[in-house]
């Protein structure tokens, strides 16, 4: 499958998704959002892919924001459709993917770029990363989940300060806030993420998918998180991965998981 604005590389159990609009600092337009949605769907359906790393082309930007020229003339109805379709096609899709996604944040992650990174399960930033939600300076608010995911990650007060000022924070402040898990040298970012991905990939993909589902349930108003954990925990006992994992432990050998 070929894309115009998205590049895919698969190396063993790890897939690298690179947003490739270098001349636009990887800004998200509708085509790029659609292509990313298709790329993630394809990778989730591939049983050989255990972890996905998402990054931007070039050293300057993960995603520098949305392509403002595309929606500058929209009315209220069109704005609602833009946010709804974007969330359904990509942002919510990534958050609920069975395959874990690591955001490798290189350079600017602004607006929709930070919202995309926050939809990922884990975030790692290079030291030159700059993150923010500047939408209020354009007369709008974050529309791809930023008002919901940012408070969950950094707390209500810090989230409101970032959203209402429209300012940016650096990588170290983002780590202090809990917005990113790790900070690396720019040239080491993707390799660090690959190392993290390898640590994840050696574990049960069925259990990982269940863990993502249970954790997400704790942040949903539609289902009680503890009950979701009970259900997911019990369901793990019916999987081949559970049988292999426990057998390997008792036999004192590394597990060889058959996959989902």
pLDDT of amino acid 249: 82
Examine the domain organization and report whether 169 and 55 are in the same domain. yes
pLDDT of amino acid 236: 76
* Residue 158 is assigned to a structural domain of this protein: yes
Give residue-wise pLDDT tens across range 216-237: 998 877 767 677 777 877 787 8
Q: Which residues are catalytic?
A: 115, 135
Examine the domain organization and report whether 123 and 234 are in the same domain. no
* Residue 183 is assigned to a structural domain of this protein: yes
pLDDT of amino acid 72: 83
Range of the domain at 188: 6-201
pLDDT of amino acid 20: 96
Regions of the chain short of the pLDDT cut 50: 260
CA-only gyration radius of the chain, Å? 19
Examine the domain organization and report whether 146 and 196 are in the same domain. yes
Q: What is the dihedral of CA 208, 210, 213, 219, to 10 degrees?
A: -90
* Residue 255 is assigned to a structural domain of this protein: no
Examine the domain organization and report whether 240 and 158 are in the same domain. no
Examine the domain organization and report whether 148 and 104 are in the same domain. yes
* Residue 95 is assigned to a structural domain of this protein: yes
Please state, in angstroms and as integers, the Cα–Cα distance from residue 171 to each residue in 156, 180, 187, 240, following that order: 20, 8, 15, 40
Examine the domain organization and report whether 63 and 98 are in the same domain. yes
Examine the domain organization and report whether 228 and 123 are in the same domain. no
pLDDT of amino acid 250: 87
Examine the domain organization and report whether 134 and 183 are in the same domain. yes
Its pTM stands at: 0.89
């Amino acid at each position: 499958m070929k894309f115009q604005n998205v590049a895919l590389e698969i190396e063993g159990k790890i897939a690298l998704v690179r947003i490739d609009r270098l001349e636009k600092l990887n800004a998200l337009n509708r085509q790029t959002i659609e292509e990313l949605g298709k790329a993630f769907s394809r990778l989730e359906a591939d049983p050989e892919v255990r972890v996905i790393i998402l990054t931007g082309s070039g050293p300057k930007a993960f995603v520098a924001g949305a392509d403002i020229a595309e929606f500058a003339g929209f009315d209220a109805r069109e704005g609602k459709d833009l946010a709804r379709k974007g969330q359904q096609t990509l942002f919510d899709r990534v958050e609920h993917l069975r395959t874990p996604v690591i955001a490798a944040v290189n350079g600017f992650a602004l607006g929709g770029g930070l919202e995309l990174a926050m939809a990922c399960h884990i975030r790692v930033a290079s030291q030159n990363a700059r993150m923010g939600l500047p939408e209020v300076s354009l007369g709008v608010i974050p529309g791809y989940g930023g008002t919901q995911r940012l408070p969950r990650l950094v707390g209500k007060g810090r989230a409101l300060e970032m959203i209402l000022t429209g300012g940016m924070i650096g990588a170290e402040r983002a780590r202090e806030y809990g917005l990113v898990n790790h900070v690396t040298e720019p040239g080491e970012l993707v390799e660090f993420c690959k190392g993290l991905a390898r640590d994840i990939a050696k574990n049960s993909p069925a259990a990982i998918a269940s863990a993502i589902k249970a954790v997400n349930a704790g942040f949903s108003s539609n289902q009680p998180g503890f009950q979701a954990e009970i259900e997911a925990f019990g369901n793990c006992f019916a999987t081949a991965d559970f049988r292999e994992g426990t057998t390997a432990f008792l036999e004192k050998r590394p597990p060889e998981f058959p996959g989902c």
